Structure 1
Amino acid sequence: MDSENLKKKTAVSLIWNIINKAGYQVIAFLVAIITTRILTPEDFGYIAALAIFSIVSGVLIESGFSIALVRRENNTRADYSAAFYFNVLLSIILYLILFFCAPLIADFFNMPPLVNLARVIFLALVINSFVIVPNVILTKQLKFKQIAIADLGGMIISSVITIVLAIKGFGYWAIAAQQVSQVFFKMIIIWCCSKWWPSWKSNFALIKELFAFSFAIIISSLLNYLSKYVYNFVIGRTYSTADLGYYGQANKYYQIPVNVIINSVVGVAYPVFSSLNNDKERQ
């Protein structure tokens, strides 16, 4: 790709990524305003109690492979397939562990509804594992318009479902439905956009190579998210479900402007710089 074409594609990608990140947060904020007028603080507290389990499991399932695959040159279909099967298999294993641990989680927080709620919400982990590799492929191709369509499409559809269920009196199940349906519809859209399908022939030797690069990323991500969500753990254990709900909602939005800008720029810059670095190495 020549420099002028790359500059143009980078600029377009950045615009679409900003639209994606900002649009996503605007929709989430509007839905929060609507649902907080309908649902109770306890409803949000149940969801916040499960956040740390979802986040940590998500980091383990992704395993830093997204960054590693974007950085890696000349990925084949067999390479992508190996990463895909690994992500899906690990997500199923972790889901089963969390499924059977749901009663223990509910007992720890003294929140009985968490048993069934956790088993539904954690389904999003399995569904999202199907998104990781197609998202990497679109990222390497700088097709951020398609990624934005998938992200915002899934968010809009799931938001409508959430608001309808909240109005109908489904309580915390309305929020659970949003989390699961959002990744489900995103999965459908992103698979249609990427036009990729895994092959039975997979290069599983690649997994060791990816881990050699991504291990530090996994540890860093885990420490980062644990530091952010450990308060959910403490508040949920020590205080009331309503208190956790208030904290969870307030903590969710205070860094939105900064995160939108940083994530938008970094999301585009990394695949661009990886591409430039690979070009230099070939020269």
Structure 2
Amino acid sequence: MAESLKEKTAKGLFWGALNSGTTQLLNLVIGIFLGRLISPAEYGIVGVLNIFTLIAGNLQSSGFSQGLINLKSPQARDYNSVFWFNILAGFVLYVVLFASAPLIASYIRQPCLVPLSRLVFLSFVISSFGIAHGAYMTKNMMNREIAIIGAIALVCSGSIAIVLAFLGFSYWSLAWQQIVYIAVLNLGRYWFTPWHPSFHFTFEPVKRMFGFSVKVLITNIINTVSNNILTLVFGRLYPIKAVGDFTQAYKWDSMANSFVANAIGQVAQPVLASVHEERGRAVRVFRKMMRFTAFFSFPAMFGLAIVSREFILVTIGKQWVDAIPLLQMLCIGGAFVPFYTVYQNVALGNGRSDVYMRCNVMQIVLQIGIIALFYQYSINKMVMAYTLFTIAWLMVWQFAAHRIIGVRFSAVMKDVLPSLLVASGVMTATYFATCLIASPALLLVVRIVIATLLYAGTAKLLRMEMMEEVVKWVERRK
């Protein structure tokens, strides 16, 4: 019997959450080893390259991954067309960036970036061979297989990076980590995907998807700039160590908030696309995703905020102490970041890539304005302003979602506020109840245990819907 949409969504969320959880756990272990073996300045050197690699990756896929996912029934010829387009774009972009390496090094004032960037940029050439396969797996909600592939790729790439860092390869170990990760990920996609490319192709499907995909492309580039602009600006304005501290803080923050965002992202667009013709049903699906996001995101991110100091000191050491206040601020804003995934997929799932593009264009324009106002102040003040803006901009996305599917702000608040208030109360109580503990290691463990038990107990006592659904879901599988 074919699975219902509800069953597929629940199964997809489970495997998406498992994938995100496994990914972040492995990243945690790998990050601890690398954080102890590589200095903040060395981290900063690789960190400033992220924006160039990600923008090139956006140009390479050109939004056609989302275009494939948004098609009702994509055929083999559609995947094949996107596959060969991605490869062509990947090689062209690598040539351009290879030639641009000296300019990038000159802007950051780090000559070592010339050979390093040319190696790092190879990662998106390799990734071009697996983008269409990744879209196939997402479209068909192969979340279990995605989880397996991701875990294997992380273990392989992380192990190689740790060995290289131990042998003294410094920032080169981080570069090779990216290369190996993409290569293993692609091999896994080929193994699990029944579709395989052929040399008989036409770019007609690419042309047909262009109108939708080009808006997604522009928006993805803007998102990339938005998410990485501080690192690029800091690379020019501040010492490379400060860039490394921010890169480390941003990495831990991203790992935590992406646990929820990735779980939602793997099912949001295909599910919302399948119900976009039924407005009432679309609203119910959207609200369910918002409740799921709030229930997990707020305790995870507020919890990381209150243990940031102990976490940094115990795991990667005192050399990263300047990253602690940055991580605390980023965690507050990071609690709201997963909601962007839900809102953005409302637009994409309903074919409104124009709305998706406009909201993100306005966001980056205002972010640049904030940077222009605060660049003369300390790095901490700029991050604080960036965090507050990240939270406030969700109101614009809510207005867009109301226009697209009719969901009201009052309904969203009803879904989100219970988790926000409970998480805030629990973390505040945990912080003050444990503030007299002197040992960072003991304090880290005690705060995690108390906050987890207190949040779960409070949610159960208040009979919060998501807590009851989680309990029922677990009981059905016993």
| Counterpart-to-counterpart distance in 1, 2:133 and 2:61 | 13
- Shift of residue 265 of structure 1? 1.7
| Counterpart-to-counterpart distance in 2, 1:105 and 1:147 | 34
2:37 maps to 1:38? yes
- 1:80-229 aligned at under 5 Å gives the runs 80-229=79-228
Check conservation: 1:44, 1:248, Cα contact below 8 A.
yes
State TM-score, norm by structure 2. 0.56
Amino acid across the alignment from 1:13: G
Cα shift readout 1:195-254 (whole Å, capped 9, x = no counterpart): 322122223111122120122222222222212211211211122222211111112222
State TM-score, norm by structure 1. 0.92
- Shift of residue 17 of structure 1? 1.0
| Counterpart-to-counterpart distance in 2, 1:174 and 1:195 | 34
| Counterpart-to-counterpart distance in 2, 1:168 and 1:110 | 26
| Counterpart-to-counterpart distance in 2, 1:227 and 1:265 | 21
Percent of aligned pairs with the same residue?
Answer: 34
**Which is worse superposed, 104-113 or 251-260?**
251-260
SS of the aligned residue for 1:202 comes to coil
Amino acid across the alignment from 1:48: G
- Shift of residue 83 of structure 1? 0.4
Cα shift readout 1:52-82 (whole Å, capped 9, x = no counterpart): 1011111111111111101112322221111
- Work out which structure has the larger RCO, using CA pairs closer than 8 Å and 6 or more positions apart in sequence: 1
| Counterpart-to-counterpart distance in 2, 1:229 and 1:166 | 25
- Shift of residue 115 of structure 1? 0.8
Amino acid across the alignment from 1:188: L
| Counterpart-to-counterpart distance in 1, 2:272 and 2:109 | 48
| Counterpart-to-counterpart distance in 2, 1:129 and 1:152 | 20
- Shift of residue 93 of structure 1? 0.6
Amino acid across the alignment from 1:199: S
2:242 maps to 1:243? yes
- Shift of residue 29 of structure 1? 2.3
| Counterpart-to-counterpart distance in 1, 2:256 and 2:34 | 22
| Counterpart-to-counterpart distance in 2, 1:154 and 1:262 | 20
**Which is worse superposed, 263-272 or 147-156?**
263-272
- Shift of residue 92 of structure 1? 0.7
Check conservation: 1:52, 1:229, Cα contact below 8 A.
yes
| Counterpart-to-counterpart distance in 2, 1:275 and 1:108 | 46
| Counterpart-to-counterpart distance in 2, 1:115 and 1:196 | 38
Check conservation: 1:82, 1:202, Cα contact below 8 A.
yes
Check conservation: 1:73, 1:278, Cα contact below 8 A.
no
| Counterpart-to-counterpart distance in 1, 2:142 and 2:264 | 15
Amino acid across the alignment from 1:245: G
Regions of 4+ moved over 6 Å: none
Counterpart of 2:24 in structure 1 is 25
| Counterpart-to-counterpart distance in 2, 1:229 and 1:195 | 35
**Which is worse superposed, 134-143 or 194-203?**
194-203
Cα shift readout 1:115-147 (whole Å, capped 9, x = no counterpart): 111011111001111111111111222211111
- Shift of residue 276 of structure 1? 4.7
Amino acid across the alignment from 2:225: L
Check conservation: 1:70, 1:140, Cα contact below 8 A.
yes
| Counterpart-to-counterpart distance in 2, 1:5 and 1:73 | 17
2:70 maps to 1:60? no
- Shift of residue 150 of structure 1? 1.2
SS of the aligned residue for 2:78 comes to helix
Cα shift readout 1:28-55 (whole Å, capped 9, x = no counterpart): 2221211111111221111111011011
Counterpart of 1:16 in structure 2 is 15
| Counterpart-to-counterpart distance in 1, 2:191 and 2:259 | 26
| Counterpart-to-counterpart distance in 1, 2:267 and 2:209 | 21
Counterpart of 2:257 in structure 1 is 258
| Counterpart-to-counterpart distance in 2, 1:68 and 1:224 | 17
**The structure with more radius of gyration:** 2
Q: Residues 239 and 167 (structure 1 numbering): CA distance in 2 closer, same or farther, change over 3 Å?
A: same
Check conservation: 1:134, 1:194, Cα contact below 8 A.
yes
**Which is worse superposed, 229-238 or 119-128?**
229-238
SS of the aligned residue for 2:48 comes to helix
Q: Which runs of 5+ in 1 are unaligned?
A: none
- Shift of residue 170 of structure 1? 0.8
**Which is worse superposed, 49-58 or 202-211?**
202-211
Check conservation: 2:44, 2:245, Cα contact below 8 A.
yes
Q: Which runs of 5+ in 2 are unaligned?
A: 279-478
Amino acid across the alignment from 1:115: V
Check conservation: 2:44, 2:241, Cα contact below 8 A.
yes
Check conservation: 2:16, 2:143, Cα contact below 8 A.
yes
SS of the aligned residue for 1:207 comes to helix
Check conservation: 1:88, 1:126, Cα contact below 8 A.
yes
